[in-house]
Amino acid sequence: MDKLDIGMLAAGASLLLIALRVQIGVALGVVSFLGIAAILSWRAAWGMVTAVPFNVVGDWNLTAIPMFLLMGYIASSSGLTRGLFRAMRILLSRLPGGLAVASVGACALFSAASGSSVATSAAMARIATPQMLKYRYDPGLASGVIASAGTLGSLIPPSILMVLYGYFAEVSIAELFMAGFLPGLLSAILYSAMIIGRVMVDPSLAPQVQEHFSRDEKLEALKDIWPLPVLILAVLAGIFVGFFTPTEAGAVGAFLAILLSWWRGALRWSLFLDAIVKTLSGTASIFIVVIGTILLARLMALSGLPAAMAQTLLSFGSDPLLVIMMVWVLYLVLGCFLDSMGLMLLTLPIILPVARELDFNLVWFCIVLVKLLEIGMVTPPVGLNVYVMKASLGELVPLTKIFRGVTWFIITDLVTLVVIVLFPWISLFLPSLMAR
């Protein structure tokens, strides 16, 4: 068996083990160890297995991950995200489908603070969906909007997926964060426009809520949520103007979250310890996957499979648009079965050489991949956010109605993706300002 065959067998074995629900990091690590041993030797394989974890855990760039996780856990558990939906409902209730549009805005802000699509969907499902159902919103719309808008956390910075992509692709994480802001805003705007358009055509989807709020009530709602936008903008502005690096920004964000929580009187010792424990657990889970992925990348490089696949893809034509379409198909299909982080890390060793061969802008390419991963979070049969919604809502909305509800949002996501591909400046405008 030659090296290329070992690489192909390893890729197939990895997918099989993941399909059998073996933890992704463990599956990739075991397969990579055996593959490296088959190509080189047991001693070489053991040497990589002992060296890679130390190098990963000791890498300064990856310290942004636990810091952003801590920021998110502190912000959500101390109440900085409380009142988001209420404030958005007060400000946007006059619009057709106002509660659903408010949900999009609340999810965008919540996910920007937490960096987690799953956490956003779980929290907002319990807050916003029952309110929409109370006002006789269509159950598919009421649940689908939360499942889909919850994915915005992957695109709106700070994003753990972007930190990992930047680490593997050796691209500036600061530029990736800035690149994700406008596409994330575009996604939220198109979601809202789609909701408003559908409700104008079919008002029964979202009956008009007859609520009137005074100016004092609107100001009070804004006072309730101001710490969260301040936290997010402070982190992004600091990165944009160069006050601190994205790695340092994670620590600054965590410190600001702690400071704001203390100032509001919401920070308790038990809450702080719980956030620390969740951060350690989440970081360990992510690092295990990263270690397995790096080992797989070493195996792939030794086997020559990425170069062979790059040549195979390029043999269909060197048209960048054609290659992008093939990447779309790959991610949309695999996204039906794998979670977003596992899918990205599993495919990067193969996809990145192709992107470099075609001289793609790797910052723009990251935004395309992350948008594809967002779609995978709600596509059947594995759409993780949909199952999170179901678990949070119980018997309130059937699973089939949630999947039916996300269909319109998937179509909107595909439209957004086309716009991002055809107009790369949307992703590259803010990074270009940083370079000046």
CA–CA separation, 298 and 280 (whole Å): 27
Place 54 in a pLDDT band, splitting at 50, 70 and 90.
confident
DSSP character for 97? Answer: T
Q: Helices 64-77 and 227-241 sit at what angle, rounded to 10 degrees?
A: 160
The residues, ordered by sequence, that sit 6+ positions from 342 with a Cβ below 8 Å of its Cβ are 18, 24, 289
Q: What is the pLDDT of residues 372-415, one digit of tens each?
A: 988 888 887 667 778 777 777 777 888 888 888 899 999 999 99
pLDDT at 332: 80
Sign of the four-CA dihedral 258, 262, 266, 272: positive
Which residue reads 């040549």 in tokens? 311
Instruction: Tell me how far apart the terminal alpha carbons of the chain are, to the nearest angstrom.
Output: 52
Largest CA distance in the chain: 75
Peptide bond into 320 cis (omega under 30): no
Q: Which of 35, 36, 28 is nearest to 56 (CA)?
A: 28
SS3 402: helix
Establish how many alpha carbons lie within 13 A of residue 287's alpha carbon, considering only the half-sphere containing its beta carbon.
21
Domain boundaries, the chain: 3-434
Q: Which of 141, 118, 112, 114 is nearest to 128 (CA)?
A: 141
Place 7 in a pLDDT band, splitting at 50, 70 and 90.
confident
CA–CA separation, 74 and 266 (whole Å): 10
Q: What is the pLDDT of residues 204-245, one digit of tens each?
A: 888 876 666 667 776 776 776 777 777 878 887 888 777 877
This prediction's pTM: 0.80
Amino acid at 187: S
**375 in Cβ contact with 152 (< 8 Å):** no
The residues, ordered by sequence, that sit 6+ positions from 235 with a Cβ below 8 Å of its Cβ are 71, 157, 158, 249, 252, 253, 256
Q: What angle do CA 379, 380, 386 make, to 5 degrees?
A: 75
Q: What is the pLDDT of residues 202-212, one digit of tens each?
A: 988 888 766 66
Q: What angle do CA 23, 24, 27 make, to 5 degrees?
A: 85
